[in-house]
A and B are shown apart, each in its own frame.
Chain A
């Protein structure tokens, strides 16, 4: 359902087998498409996030997830129109949300399930509710899913402007 970064998922699955009899899967997965890192240094308040244009409202259809990256290209996410007003939803219908898709447990890429509007981890079965600000429904992460805060301007352009939890793999969301 969620096509992007299949490579990441597969590498992850192989790594999960490590130590259980198969040959080691080799080096850790390289980050996808490293480029265009946001400019920021040291301690960051939430206000210091870059304002990055993700899409226009017209580009979104209900339950068709759009692949995005925020706050830099190494941090894949998803932009979603849910078709129903939700907590933290942006846009005229209050139904547009964006989340990190790296599981905050062990970094496997989450897959969107339109049937119940959840993001799901193929690594260890954790589930996050897209209609509840990424609340972990079941799983092993010690936090709910990082949600990107959105601003929508008068032209309908959607900007990501912040993140409410630490993103998987990082000691700081905006890397120095």
Chain B
């Protein structure tokens, strides 16, 4: 049975409903929404004069109706303690999404906590501590002082490096400028915590170190550039499923030819055509199918690359472009450094690249021409280069990232309309923290520290390493073992005797135990191992600022109360800092106590003013009031001024040819091919028959923390799907919907077979970070020299366990829109 809501009717927002600016919680695109709230006792009417939209709701709208609200966009929540109706609806006036919602963002209302409708009923509402052998509710004072006392004792006895931290570094929900600043000020300014990691990787490092080192920030263009490009060169990304409305509202119109007038108007001195697109991906994704439907197959070049060999392709493209004389000679001379040396070092013939990448030589030549062959009258092509996890979480991250940046600066495809060399991104961004330079490079491998029994206390912020880590089964086993040592000790004596508790906890830590503090909105899988759990508020329950993939800064206004006593992360960090100050003060350690000054924030706005306003580039111009006035379109960073009641932003970066290096030039890097990194993957490839690629599915956001609580999604994803070629299934005796074990030399996990004719033989694709079958179980601990994991190049075998529960209710049809319909 397919889940249906059976919903025939929604309340209509009245004319005087409160309207709040909202940027979507979820992906980096940051679609604009409006939240409407109004009293539970009232509703508007269908007549234009009776409702908040000012339109006749009895008129059946045509396609793209701007005022339809589906049931997932509705909920009842509390505002200042009173129940109110809530609608969260995409904003047709937002230039990012133009009224579109994705299957993820469109469910913002139903993913809110509601005591009235029961949605997200298990959100954390109070702090929990481990006492009497279970997690029990307690007061903030009790939970924070226990956390502070244990942290203090660990610092006093073991030093600051025994404080381990896992924390988000991104924007959107579970992040944002307020919260990265709050946590950053605590761990990098008050304390100097070196041993930390980020939500999706085992060290505190950048996923795109190389492009930054070369002088080019990774988000350097505007979404409009996808409308203006002659060619989009997309490496290791699947934007229809992962940056949905950026793709639908900006890429597709270009591929369809409907931005031609705009191109001609904005760039009148050159010829224009509908956009072409090159997609480098071992998989044939729904993105490729959509591009073919809109642009015609002749304008879509899918390079189905041998997994992990992107670097070879990128080097060969550079070689081919330069051999044809298509590079931007003047730009290279004036604004770059190291071109000749890099070109020599990276030289790769098309034939050699074809042999290693498995891509036909002619297709590589065609790609080079689509990227850089000048247009009529020698006009330079405009190629937008976009990449994401297929490059980032793949082989030899640093050099591959550098290789695509080499290509961009060699062809001057940055800082001009219709260009850019950008990551497509996961979450929104929202990073403002004190310097982390003291951490050093490479940053410590936090998982390794935990596995080797080091560290005394671990603070975790909105991250579930049990779902999203690598070497995940071993990590889970060891983490539970270490935290259990402390749990058993804590349960062995009464809770109320704090001094005795601290003594048994420290004694347990000395015996290899680890004290774990978890800040989250739900009790997560790793949170279940924690000793203190602190309830966080999320976006909508607090004011929160973030920027999207074109650096568009917006304020999501608070439109509802957080559940119970939950608080914004920045205020939890501040209260923890206050508790640490008090703990050290009581212990007579004034030197340490004094480190925790400056955390007297009362609201998230205080944290914003202390952090972003004072420390972000252009932050001095930005306040909540000014941002609120900019609505869902906000302003693109960096902000450069405030005039006539408006913040003035920056549409794209590097338009002046000045880059973020000491000499202001973009630096070419040598990026010679070195084979597989980590090297164990080459051996694994020989020993196991199936590539187990991993990544996102359209319906699921992140590690499914909301989705696993929603029947609309969960009826299809009770088990993570593994997409397989039907011939491979036949060989293994598998049917659609079978539950299988996926196993290799590292570990094993489970998944549900989903047949796809488009899957290449020998190549499977599995949902990443799933709650009930972690791909990370079979990902080895190996990382690159800067401790970036390779989640993509994993090989394993597959065997049947049985039938997946409820599989017969799931549709296993092909995902692609039929082009010949």
Contacts and interface: CB of A to CB of B under 8 A. Distances in A.
Interface in A9-57: 9, 11-12, 15-22, 28-31, 34, 43-46
Contacts of A141: 70, 103, 106
A166 B9 contact: yes
B712 A142 contact: yes
Given A20-B258, A108-B63, A176-B58, A171 B69 contact: yes
B65 A107 contact: yes
Q: Which of A12, A87, A170 has most chain B Cβ within 10 Å?
A: A170
A113 B818 contact: yes
B80 interface: no
A172 B8 contact: yes
B814 A116 contact: yes
For the residues of B in contact with A, the DSSP-based class is loop
Contacts of A108: 63
B645 interface: no
Contact of A20 (B11, B69, B102, B262): B262
Nearest to A29: B62
Q: Which of A22, A28, A44, A140 has most chain B Cβ within 10 Å?
A: A140
Contacts of B521: none
Contacts of A135: 2, 716, 810-811
A15 B261 contact: no
B529 interface: no
A106 interface: yes
Interface in A123-176: 123-125, 127, 129, 131-144, 147, 163-166, 168-176
Interface stretch (B196-204, B246-254, B469-477, B501-509): B246-254
A111 B821 contact: yes
Given A144-B3, A144-B4, A137 B811 contact: yes
Given A21-B258, A171-B12, A175-B58, A143 B248 contact: no
For the residues of A in contact with B, the DSSP-based class is loop
Contacts of B263: 21
B686 interface: no
A143 B103 CA distance: 9
Nearest to B99: A106
A142 B72 contact: yes
Nearest to A117: B813
B107 A12 contact: no
B9 A43 contact: yes
A116 B820 CA distance: 12
B717 to A, nearest CB: 12
Given A127-B813, A140-B101, A170 B68 contact: yes
A169 B2 contact: no
Contact of A133 (B2, B6, B818): B2
Contact of A19 (B68, B98, B254): B98
A17 B63 contact: no
Contacts of A9: 63
A120 B817 contact: yes
A171 B2 contact: no
Nearest to B241: A138
Contacts of A31: 59-62
B72 A143 contact: yes
Interface in B1-40: 1-12
B786 to A, nearest CB: 36
Contacts of A170: 57, 60, 68
B327 to A, nearest CB: 30
Contacts of A147: 4
B656 interface: no
Interface stretch (B115-123, B286-294, B659-667, B770-778): B286-294
B404 to A, nearest CB: 26
B321 interface: no
B506 to A, nearest CB: 50
Contacts of A142: 70-73, 101, 103, 106-107, 110, 712
A140 B813 contact: no
A166 B63 contact: no
A104 B5 CA distance: 13
B64 A104 contact: no
Interface residues of A, number: 73
Nearest to A123: B63
Contacts of B7: 165-166
Given A21-B263, A125-B240, A174-B8, A168 B68 contact: yes
B260 interface: yes
Q: Which of B1, B73, B712, B811 has most chain A Cβ within 10 Å?
A: B811
A123 B229 CA distance: 22
B227 interface: yes
B500 interface: no
Contacts of B682: none
Given A106-B63, A135-B2, A171 B57 contact: yes
Contact of B10 (A103, A123, A163, A166): A166
Given A116-B814, A129-B811, A142-B106, A169 B9 contact: no
A115 B757 CA distance: 14
A129 B814 CA distance: 10
Contacts of B71: 142-143, 165-166
Contact of A12 (B63, B260, B816, B818): B63
A164 B61 contact: no
A15 B62 contact: yes
A163 B5 CA distance: 10
Given A134-B2, A143-B71, A147-B4, A17 B9 contact: no
Given A8-B62, A15-B62, A141-B103, A129 B5 contact: no
B244 interface: yes
Contacts of B6: 46, 164-165
B369 interface: no
A87 to B, nearest CB: 6
A138 B61 contact: no
A17 B258 contact: yes
Given A142-B71, A142-B72, A166-B7, A22 B60 contact: no
Contact of B227 (A21, A132, A166): A21
B100 interface: yes
A107 B102 contact: no
B678 to A, nearest CB: 34
B712 A143 contact: yes
Nearest to B228: A21
B79 interface: no
A85 to B, nearest CB: 13
Interface string B154-179: 00000000000000000000000000
20 contacts: A16-B253, A19-B249, A20-B262, A21-B265, A30-B62, A31-B60, A44-B8, A87-B2, A107-B63, A108-B63, A131-B811, A135-B810, A138-B286, A138-B815, A138-B816, A140-B102, A140-B698, A143-B5, A165-B4, A175-B58
Given A87-B2, A175-B58, 7 more contacts: A16-B253, A20-B262, A21-B258, A103-B63, A107-B61, A107-B65, A166-B5
